[in-house]
């Protein structure tokens, strides 16, 4: 493996998998924190060190995160089944 592909920054990895670099770095930070690895995040002026061989795995993780919408899913059926949610007709 060449030196160029052995040590990629977050921006270079994002470009390799075809996504926005800022969104990708934000995703990596979220992913590492969720795995309990928040202390391994690069600080100011530091960079991620990724390899091109990881591109498929990072792409899969990133796109799986996007498919969930990166938002909490609101399920109205669950909300309405909650006994703490009052029926609007009962309040009149």
**What are the tens digits of pLDDT across the range 4-62?**
456 888 899 999 999 999 999 888 888 888 878 777 777 666 777 888 888 999 898 88
Burial 15-39 (b: 16+ CB within 10 A, else e): ebbebeeeebbebbeeebeeeeeee
Tens of pLDDT, residue by residue over 75-86, are 566 656 655 544
Tell me if the pTM is above 0.75: no
CATH code matching the domain that covers 3-84, chosen among 1.20.272, 2.60.40, 1.10.1660, 1.10.10:
1.10.1660
Burial class of residue 64, CB neighbours in 10 A (0-12, 13-18, 19+):
exposed
């Amino acid at each position: 493996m060449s030196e160029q592909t052995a040590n990629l920054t977050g921006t270079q990895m994002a470009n390799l998998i075809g996504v926005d670099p800022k969104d990708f770095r934000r995703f990596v930070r979220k992913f590492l924190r969720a795995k309990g690895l928040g202390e391994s995040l690069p600080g100011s002026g530091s960079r991620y060190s990724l390899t091109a061989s990881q591109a498929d795995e990072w792409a899969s993780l990133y796109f799986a995160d996007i498919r969930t919408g990166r938002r909490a899913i609101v399920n109205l059926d669950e909300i309405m089944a909650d006994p703490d949610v009052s029926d609007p007709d009962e309040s009149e």
